Amino acid sequence: MRVANILHLGVKELRSLLRDPTMAVLIVYAFTYAIHTAAKAMPETLNKAPIAIVDEDRSQLSTRIIDAFYPPHFIAPVLITQPEMDARMDAGVDTFALDIPPDFQRDVLAGRNPVIQLNVDATRMTQAFTGSGYIQTIINSEVTTFLQGHRSNAAPAADLTLRARFNPELNTSWHGGVMEIINNITMLSIILTGAALIREREHGTVEHLLVMPVTPFEIMAGKVWAMALVVLVASACSLIVVVQWWLSVPIEGSIVLFLAGTALHLFATTSLGIFLGTIARSMPQFGLLLMLVLLPMQVLSGSVTPRESMPELVQMVMLAAPNTHFVMLAQAILYRGAGLSVVWPQFIFLALIGTVLFYLSLARFRKTIATMA
């Protein structure tokens, strides 16, 4: 009979959710358009980087260099004067400002190794770093081509052939789309369960449930499966319709395996939601608590920046968060086509974290019941 109770309580949760059309619209938005926008906003790591050039040489070579910058990596360069340069960089108009000195071409031809100054706004970390590498390469190759026929170059040559696996063109929308789904999965599952519990408390319905022949375990399990199902369906649709079809991102591995992982992740996050719901006394408190838990979980999970760059301690602590394992699992399955033989440790971790969180929240739920009524 207990399984039936869990079923009925879950169906009730689903019905409640249906009664809030705004919520339904938001969920659809979060898993479709928001994913698409997030993915498409930055098609590549270096996209339309703003660059300005001070051309004090006005030679054939300097024109060549200016012409070498064009979309999509860079915007067509703006030609400015030296005094303008500082102002524009201060205002954050340009990330890069290139200063080609007078007599540059003459000095190059004379083998005097002139210096081009590249100013980079280093507050824009990623673009600054990647872009300056690109710019150096572009200038070097322009100068080299220009010199061909003028002089021969005798340095030993070994090429570097760079190939990116799994995403040959390093298309960021592949990454952005899926990571946005992951973020939304986590946020939605925590909000749905935790807020549903607080709502029941604020409306006095928990008290009502507690005099019925149902156990706290059944109440909790009902919420967990219903909300996890909603998020699971939303993420499956999002992955297949938005990511695979709309964004045409090739998915290497098995979607079924990924969804199995998602289900485990949801088990953990929905339990976490209930846990937060038992701690918060009101909805505003829950909202703050949510931010406090959700933001670090998302930022430090490895979906935004690589895990290995984080301090050791942070890496260790974050192993306790379900997100971390879910991000690893998602990257491995979806991009690298990894199978269960590779990602089983993440599955085990997620199952463990989920179980611990579930029982922790169940214990707290039982304990706080008296104060809810």
Partner 1 sequence: MNGLSPVVRLEKVSLRFGKTAALERISLELPAGCMVGLIGPDGVGKSSLFSLIAGSRAIQTGRIEVMGGSMADKRHRSAVCPQIAYMPQGLGKNLYPTLSVFENVDFFARLFGQNQKERERRIAELLQATGLSAFADRPAGKLSGGMKQKLGLCCALIHDPELLILDEPTTGVDPLSRRQFWELIEHIRSAQPGMSVLIATAYMEEAARFDWLVAMNAGQVLTTGTPRQLLTQTGASSLEEAFISLLPQAQREGHQPVSIPPRQTESDGKAAIEAHDLTMRFGDFTAVDKVSFRIEQGEIFGFLGSNGCGKTTTMKMLTGLLEASSGEAWLFGEPVDARDIDTRRRVGYMTQSFSLYSELTVRQNLVLHARLFSIPEERIKPRVQEMAQRFGLTEIMEILPDALPLGQRQRLSLAVAMIHGPEMLILDEPTSGVDPVARDAFWQIMVDLARQDKVTIFISTHFMNEAERCDRISLMHAGRVLVSDAPATLITTRGADTLEEAFIGYLEEAAEEKSARSEPVTVDSTAVTVRGLSASPNRRFSLRRLFSYTRREGLELRRDPIRLALAMLGSVILMLVMGYGITMDVEDLAFAVLDHDQTAISRDYAYNLAGSRYFSVRPPLKDYAELDRRMRAGKISLAIEIPPGFARDLRRGTPVAVGAWIDGAMPTRAETIRGYVQGMHALWLTNLARQTFGSAANTGAATVETRFRYNPDVKSLPAMVPAVIPLLLIMIPAMLSALSVVREKELGSIVNLYVTPVTRLEFLLGKQLPYVALAMLNFLLLTALAISVFSVPLKGSFFALATAAFLYVICSTAIGLVISTFTRTQIAAMFATGVLTMLPAVQFSGMVDPVSSLEGAGAYIGKYFPTTHFLAIARGTFSKGLGFGDLKTSFLPLLIVGPLLIGLGAVLLKKQEH
Please list every residue from 107 through 166 that binds partner 1, using CB under 8 A.
108, 111, 113-130, 132-133, 135-137, 139-140, 143-144, 147, 153-166
Q: Is 251 in the site for partner 1 (CB under 8 A)?
A: no
Segment near partner 1 (CB under 8 A), from 76-84, 176-184, 257-265, 349-357? 176-184
Between CA 61 and CA 75 the distance in angstroms is: 20
Site for partner 1 in 316-355 (CB under 8 A): 328, 331-332, 335-338, 342
41 vs 256 by CB, closer to partner 1: 41
Between CA 24 and CA 195 the distance in angstroms is: 15
Give the shortest CB-356-to-partner 1 separation in angstroms.
22
The mark string for 44-63 relative to partner 1 (x by CB under 8 A, - otherwise) is xxxxxxx-------------
Helix (H) or strand (E) segment spanning residue 97 = strand 96-100
**Strand, helix or coil for residue 352:** helix
Between CA 273 and CA 196 the distance in angstroms is: 9
Determine which residue in the list 59, 184, 270, 324 makes contact with partner 1, applying CB under 8 A.
184
Between CA 372 and CA 278 the distance in angstroms is: 9
Burial 96-124 (b: 16+ CB within 10 A, else e): bbbbbeeebbeebeeeeebebeebbbeee
Q: Is 3 in the site for partner 1 (CB under 8 A)?
A: no
Closest C-alpha to 227, from 196, 255, 198 = 196
Closest C-alpha to 89, from 122, 40, 48 = 122
Q: Is 363 in the site for partner 1 (CB under 8 A)?
A: no
Between CA 122 and CA 163 the distance in angstroms is: 27
Give the shortest CB-149-to-partner 1 separation in angstroms.
13
Determine which residue in the list 79, 314, 319, 363 makes contact with partner 1, applying CB under 8 A.
314
CA 135 to chain centre: 27
13 vs 358 by CB, closer to partner 1: 13
Segment near partner 1 (CB under 8 A), from 230-238, 265-273, 286-294, 354-362? 286-294
Determine which residue in the list 267, 275, 286, 365 makes contact with partner 1, applying CB under 8 A.
286
372: Cβ contacts below 8 Å, ≥ 6 apart: 201, 206, 207, 210
Q: Is 282 in the site for partner 1 (CB under 8 A)?
A: yes
187 vs 257 by CB, closer to partner 1: 187
Q: Specify the long-range contacts of residues 314-321, CB closer than 8 Å, at least 24 apart.
A: 319/349, 320/353, 321/297, 321/353
195 vs 353 by CB, closer to partner 1: 195
The mark string for 75-104 relative to partner 1 (x by CB under 8 A, - otherwise) is x-----------x-xxxxx-x--------x
Size of the site for partner 1 (CB under 8 A): 150
Segment near partner 1 (CB under 8 A), from 168-176, 229-237, 264-272, 350-358? 168-176
* Cis omega (within 30 of 0) for bond into 71: no
Residue 93: phi and psi, rounded to 5, are -75, -45
Give the shortest CB-11-to-partner 1 separation in angstroms.
8
Between CA 283 and CA 15 the distance in angstroms is: 21
Between CA 21 and CA 333 the distance in angstroms is: 34
Give the shortest CB-299-to-partner 1 separation in angstroms.
5
Distances (CA, A) of 356 to 173, 258, 275, 322: 35, 22, 11, 11
Determine which residue in the list 32, 63, 167, 254 makes contact with partner 1, applying CB under 8 A.
167
Determine which residue in the list 76, 79, 233, 288 makes contact with partner 1, applying CB under 8 A.
288
Closest C-alpha to 350, from 220, 257, 253 = 257
227 vs 264 by CB, closer to partner 1: 227
Give the shortest CB-145-to-partner 1 separation in angstroms.
10
The mark string for 190-229 relative to partner 1 (x by CB under 8 A, - otherwise) is -xx--xx-xx--xxxx-xx-xxxxxx--------------
